[in-house]
């Protein structure tokens, strides 16, 4: 079977499984990304995310992750919600409205891998969903699925940036797609809007200043110097995406697992504060919020409340 036919088969099946966009690139060393990653780490932009310092070489070369790797298949899955949170509530990042994407995407990748082996033959490889040293956005860009915006996110020209990114790294030779040009132009809306000035230069995000880092990744106390800057974000932050003009093209996800939980529609500060661990585990089973945990969310809520104000005021 020809390489082009194989590409078409994989793309068609991925779309049938629910992925929105599929791209292909050669599994090779990411030469352009190497100095950028090295500089980013040298500047300590990873903060307390020490895992970013590990596996430097593997992050840049997929052949160190998969023996005889030939192709990186990049896949996008839209998570933009049809229904937003009500105004005035503690804000939750849109990616966390529904079921944890790791569970959803892993099942789809498992099915896609089985399909490839059934239709094409003995193809070896690994699936990745934000859980291994893979530079997702770099591969998606290389696969022609968009460009890297000034906020560091991948932007698709027709559907914006509210996408999860996943990969299959396989030992099957396929014709690569070419990258797209950058269409951000002179726009700096994401840089200007960042509440903590975490976007220190176009396409360079100081992770140690990002609200998502503080509210999700950081396990210790949030520095008091950032008090009053979180704009009501209790878990993650979408500000740089919300202001991006390209996201006017975002369409609601067709993945039911990502639909907003009813709990978000009415949960106030006091509702969160009074919640027990048992109720939290029951309400948010298989939710991304489990990553931070109830105590972490309560810490975040205390931090974003103005001085002297109590939950429920």
Q: Which are the catalytic amino acids?
A: 130
CA atoms of 297 and 276, how far apart (whole Å): 12
Q: How far apart are CA 102 and CA 293, in angstroms?
A: 17
Nearest to 299 by CA among 223, 239, 231, 237: 223
Q: At what angle do helices 101-119 and 3-16 cross, to 10 degrees?
A: 140
CB 199 within 8 A of CB 150: yes
Beta strand pairing call for 125-128 and 163-170: antiparallel
d(CA 173, CA 123): 10
Q: Which residues of 101-130 are buried (b: 16+ CB within 10 A; e: fewer)?
A: bbebbbebbeebbebbeeeeeebebbbbbe
Tokens (6 digits) for 291: 């990553």
């Amino acid at each position: 079977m020809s390489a082009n036919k194989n590409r078409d088969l994989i793309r068609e099946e991925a779309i049938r499984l629910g992925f929105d966009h599929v791209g292909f690139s050669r599994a090779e060393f990411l030469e352009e990304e190497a100095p950028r990653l090295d500089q980013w780490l040298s500047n300590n932009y990873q903060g307390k995310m020490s895992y970013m310092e590990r596996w430097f070489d593997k992050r840049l070369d997929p052949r160190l992750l998969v023996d005889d790797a030939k192709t990186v298949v990049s896949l996008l899955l839209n998570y933009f919600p049809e229904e937003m949170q009500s105004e005035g509530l503690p804000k939750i990042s849109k990616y966390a409205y529904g079921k944890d994407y790791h569970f959803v995407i892993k099942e789809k990748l498992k099915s896609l891998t089985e399909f490839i082996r059934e239709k094409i033959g003995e193809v070896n490889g690994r699936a990745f969903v934000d859980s291994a040293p893979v530079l997702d956005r770099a591969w998606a860009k290389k696969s022609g699925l968009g460009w890297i915006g000034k906020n560091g996110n991948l932007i698709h020209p027709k559907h914006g940036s509210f996408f999860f990114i996943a990969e299959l790294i396989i030992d099957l030779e396929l014709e690569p797609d070419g990258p797209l040009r950058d269409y951000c132009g002179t726009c700096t809306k994401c840089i200007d809007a960042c509440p903590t000035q975490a976007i220190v230069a176009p396409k360079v995000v100081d992770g140690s200043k990002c609200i998502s880092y503080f509210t999700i990744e950081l396990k210790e106390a949030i520095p008091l110097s950032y008090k009053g800057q979180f704009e009501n974000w209790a878990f993650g932050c979408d500000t740089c995406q919300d202001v991006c003009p390209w996201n006017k093209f975002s369409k609601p996800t067709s993945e039911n697992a990502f639909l907003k939980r009813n709990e978000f529609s009415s949960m106030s500060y006091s509702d969160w504060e009074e919640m027990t661990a048992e109720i939290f585990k029951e309400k948010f089973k298989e939710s991304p919020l489990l990553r931070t945990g109830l105590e972490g969310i309560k810490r975040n809520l205390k931090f974003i409340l103005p001085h002297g104000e109590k939950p429920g005021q």
